[in-house]
Amino acid sequence: MNATGKVLRLAAMGAAAGVLVAGIALPAVGGAGVGLVSAVEDVGIAPRDLAEPPLAQVSVIQDVKGREIARFYEQYREVVPSDKIADIMKTAIISIEDYRFYEHGPIDIEGTLRALATNLQSGGVAQGGSSITQQYVKQVLLNAADTEEEKNKALEASYARKLNELRYAMGVEKKYSKDQILEKYLNIAYFGAGAYGVEAAAKRFFGISASELTLPQAATLAGAVQDPNATDPNLGKTSRDRLLKRRNVVLDRMAELGKITKEQAAEAKKARLGYKGTPLPGGCESSKYPYFCVYVRNEILNNPDFGKTAKQRLAFLNRGGLTIRTTIDPTMQAAADRAIRKWVHPSDNPVAAEALVQPGTGAIKAMAASRPYGTRKSKHQMSYNLVADVAHGGGIGFQAGSTFKTFTLLTALKQGMKINDGFSAGAGYTARSYAAFKNCAGENIGDPSHTVTNDEGAPGWKTLQTGTWASVNTFFVELEQRVGLCEVVKTAKSLGIHRSDGAPLKEVETFTLGINEMDPVTVATAYAAIGARGKYCAPMAITRITDSTGKSTDYKPKCRQALDPEVADAAAHILSGVFTKGTMSAVGGIGRDAAGKTGTNDNSSSAWFAGFTPDLAGAVSLGDPRGTSKYKLNGVTIGGRYYGSVFGASVPGPIWKDTMLRALRGVPATEFTPINTERFGGCGGSCRGLVSVTPPTGGDGPAGGGDTPVQILPN
């Protein structure tokens, strides 16, 4: 009995099966001239339009010059047009999957009848018989599935699914030509080894493009689509042996159909499998700039600009086929990498991290660290972003130390103090009362039980200039008390300061000493605002995104005037003296206008340097990620050099200097805007000698504030 007879006899086994068989058997009974569409219409099967969401494609990350630095994808796929696919590949896939593809309609009647006969006899779906069009439909439905339930439904072994596929296949054949359907199928099919689509498969398997495939290579890929998981060559010898056998089956079938000669098939079978296992491109671990790559990824995943929900943003990145142009500058990145390598070794326990930010735009130009990025602890790799905050893949950061004194300096200048205004700073500072300091909630948080001492700088009469240059702790804690802790916090926040771990800033009396944990990107961006004359620009990593259709969206800097420009000029004037008269004088400047501040935490638990020019700002942190309270920077060897104690000018300062010298090579030097001497020059109410000062309210006398002038006598 022939296949048609078997089907007709077995149809009586079930009404539903009978209807389906009748619907598809009519063309075979009536002869090749009877069209399937008219047959299925007789039993009420109408074409259905298939929704075809864009295929998940690779998103490419580029540097500022358009060179690729990383890739992200849910499915590694590169969609290519038909003319970019070798003809032998098309011939091979048709030969093994659907040799009558160009002759039949949306369903191959002969193949389906054979499959149905087998399936009805087995009581299930034991044989597919699907045309390439039907296979394309199934892949579209599978790719569009968001849940496991939807995926299972797209793959379930049922006549209902087959009937549904048929309706969609009829719609697809009405909408597209055969060549278009074949192109779509070859771009959506999974070939194994993580490669989706023929272009990705050609690169993954053989290190070439789909247009370059040879006969044995094309036969290999054509054979892989039947069961790509079983023949995945990346899984080892057994799977490769299966793939080789499957390749030879394809070659035999091509010869049987007359697409190649038997001699060509025999010759092709002699070829080795030739699987290269070309590494899948992409992922931050394989990027040349891994920490910046992590930053960009998290920026997209967390920023509502790129999708309303987390799920939408993930799909946007991993499925969108985007070209993402970024701010990273290879020259500046190389400068940062080289400087860090010079001063800190990857094998050292303490870790150095540096961010470079452009004043006036917030563009992140470099993100570097002394440890390689990755998950292998045996190689001293770090699995989180050492240069950024938690929101961008970072950790808790390190206490920023005296780099925070700059925010107290700015607040004093905002309130009208001149560069030579000052007072006598003692060897220790103890709050006179709990009311000496108030946080922004108005709570008394002074600590009369704690005495602040000096790590650097001698006590005595200090001005805004000399107190900053020598980084005198007692001077700055009292200055903070005088201008108001909350006002200092507000200044810091206006420059984008936030804790690396995302928790609220700790508003305590030692705020000015940098007890909050920070990351280099945040600190560099704050200092960049001073270099831009008070114009704060949020950190920016992405400048343009082009989608898979070629539509581009440009992203502009998000800036605001956070400081009076003249206040920023005065601060830059004072901070520039750090290189000539202050804590960086032994290290020296960079041969152009520059300003900055060292930062050393209690007992050298961590160390920083943050600085800026009008053209580029940077911040360098140094600390032990095992825990700074236990593993301090005392008696340590870093970069092959022994340090009794590490300060901001010991390692972070030199890293910053070496970075800037190379990063700004060839960049015309921009000068700072001169200080307004009429407004900030000399001294006002706090000159050395008998001075009248009106401290802020809420305290008790010189230490805690008050409403009446007080007399301060110099040492």
pLDDT one-digit tens code per residue, 305-354: 888 998 888 888 888 889 999 999 999 999 999 999 999 999 999 999 99
Checking if the pLDDT of 408 tops 90, the result is yes
pLDDT tens sequence across 102-122: 988 766 666 665 555 554 554
Q: Which of 29-43, 100-114, 175-189, 508-522 has the lowest mean pLDDT?
A: 29-43
Q: Name the most confidently modeled range: 69-83, 143-157, 676-690.
A: 69-83
What percentage of the chain carries pLDDT values higher than 90? 68
Q: Would you say residue 95 has pLDDT above 60?
A: yes
pLDDT higher than 60, residue 278: yes
Give how far the C-alpha of residue 353 lies from the chain's centroid of Cα atoms, to the nearest Å. 17
Cα–Cα nearest to 624, from 607, 602, 648, 644: 607
Confidence band for 90, pLDDT divided at 50, 70 and 90? very high
Amino acid identity, position 60 = V
Is the predicted pLDDT of residue 208 greater than 60, yes or no? yes
Sequence-separated (6 or more) residues with CB below 8 Å from residue 127: 114, 115, 118, 119
- Residue pair 605/628 in contact by the 8 Å Cβ criterion: yes
Residue given tokens 């108030």 in the structure block: 438
Q: Which among 526, 601, 610 has a CA at the least distance from the CA of 575?
A: 610
pLDDT band at residue 377 under the 50/70/90 scheme = confident
- Between 216 and 455, residue with greater pLDDT: 216
Task: Give me 251's structure tokens.
Answer: 């070659």
Lowest pLDDT segment from 11-20, 178-187, 696-705: 696-705
Give the residue carrying structure tokens 């390439």. 132
The whole-number average pLDDT for the span 43-51 is: 75
Mean pLDDT taken over the chain: 86
Spatial distance between the Cα atoms of 106 and 27, rounded to a whole number of angstroms: 13
- The CA distances from residue 683 to 417, 474, 679, in Å, are 8, 20, 10
pLDDT at residue 176 above 70? yes
Give the strand pairing for 364-369 and 428-430.
unpaired
Tokens 């070794």 correspond to 345
Kindly list the domain boundaries of the chain, sorted by start residue: 1-46+105-174, 398-540+555-683
pLDDT of residue 111: 61
Tell me what the mean pLDDT of segment 202-213 comes to: 97
Percent of the chain with pLDDT over 70: 85
Question: How confident is the model at residue 44, as a pLDDT?
Answer: 52
Least confident of 15-24, 317-326, 701-710: 701-710
Superfamily in which the 398-540+555-683 domain is placed by CATH: DD-peptidase/beta-lactamase superfamily (3.40.710.10)
Of residues 270, 244, 4, 246, the one with CA closest to residue 115: 4
| DSSP three-state, residue 361 | coil
Return the pLDDT at 82. 97
> In this structure, is the dihedral angle defined by the CA atoms of residues 7, 12, 14 and 18, taken in order, positive or negative?
positive
Nearest-CA neighbor of 401 among 655, 639, 623?
623
Nearest to 215 by CA among 276, 268, 255: 268
Sign of torsion over alpha carbons 445, 448, 450, 456? positive
CA 211 to chain centroid: 32
Name 72's bridge partners: 59
Overall size of the chain counted in residues: 715
Residue 646 pLDDT greater than 50, yes or no: yes
| Mean local confidence (pLDDT), 230-244 | 93
Q: Would you say residue 606 has pLDDT above 90?
A: yes
Is 251 a residue whose pLDDT tops 60?
Answer: yes
| pLDDT surpassing 50 at residue 28 | no
pLDDT mean over 251-260: 97
401 neighbors 648 (Cβ within 8 angstroms): yes
pLDDT of residue 218: 98
- Residue 126 clears pLDDT 50, i.e. is over it: no
Is-contact 665 388, C-beta < 8 A?
no
Nearest to 488 by CA among 438, 431, 419: 438
